[in-house]
Amino acid sequence: MVDLNVDEWTQEEFLRNKKELEANGVKVLLIDTILNPISGTETLTYSPPLLRSEPSGSVFVFYCDTGKASKERLGEFRAKFPDHVCISLRGGRGYWRKNLRV
């Protein structure tokens, strides 16, 4: 069972939880807040109008360069997207390992 009441996921947690949640019909999106996509994985550029159109209950995992700014902005993200789950990627883009698989 995936715990959605957390502020951060590591890359490994993101990959594992995404697989489990999507198998149960819950959409999980990795959101780029710095206009710098992570190669080797699908990301979506931060766009509030676009994100609001995602199904209710979808999980948005926000990332920045280090994870610090996206974690600090979680309150803002959660206020903007009350029908979605908002989580920060621990370590951000800088800690992403392109060869890590689960």
pLDDT band (50, 70, 90) for residue 100: confident
Question: Quick one: pLDDT band at residue 1, thresholds 50, 70, 90?
Answer: confident
Taking a C-beta distance cutoff of 8 angstroms, is the pair 55, 83 a contact?
no
Evaluate if residue 99 carries a pLDDT over 90: no
pLDDT category of residue 14 using cuts at 50, 70 and 90: very high
Determine the pLDDT at residue 50.
97
pTM, full prediction:
0.96
> What pLDDT is stored for residue 101 in this prediction?
75
Per-residue pLDDT of 36-93, as tens digits, reads 999 999 999 999 999 999 999 999 999 999 999 999 999 999 999 999 999 999 999 9
Kindly give the residue spans of alpha helices, DSSP state H, lying in 24-87. Answer: 48-52, 68-72, 74-80
For 24-33, the pLDDT digits (tens) are 999 999 999 9
Scan for tokens 């996509």, then name that residue.
37
